[in-house]
Structure 1
């Protein structure tokens, strides 16, 4: 039986197919590099979002920390007890405002010293 000769049997064709195979491997490796680069870029973006969210949370924490003691004091004075000595004091209203102001300054100073802002 005689062997049928096809263009694939020729040495030139085999060299051409090997060249195509090598080019395909190079393209696949380049695609893998691009995929890794895109993954790294996505991770960097997510990290930046986390940093921004942490800054927002820090700001909200500072605001909350300032207003919690003020709300507590205002709540006590809003209970309308009859026998609170400060209620009969001539400067009671301004005294509470002074306490509010001092507490706010102390908390801000504490955060400034801790380099929160």
Structure 2
């Protein structure tokens, strides 16, 4: 069993996926293809995705009984001792890249110069 969730992808890709899988909701495809077909569909999805995003979840023989693959997603699958978890991006790291400026604003400095 596999579930493929695509967002903001070309209509041609959705039509192509519809040949092999059933679209149960806009952008959500479900099916039970073989592992070979699943890998070919994933490869085709990542090639044709352009600026869109894709998330693949499929059943496999491991402790969780499933595996994840992502393409251009904010959340990343991370392996913790054989268990795959989805890791959210750390929002605090974004603030470290663009530190907050301190001091007076440019507009305040211009107004102060005009008063003099």
Normalised by the length of structure 2, the TM-score is: 0.25
Question: More helix by proportion, 1 or 2?
Answer: 1
Q: Max radius of gyration: which structure?
A: 1
Higher relative contact order (CA 8 A, sep 6+): 1
Normalised by the length of structure 1, the TM-score is: 0.25
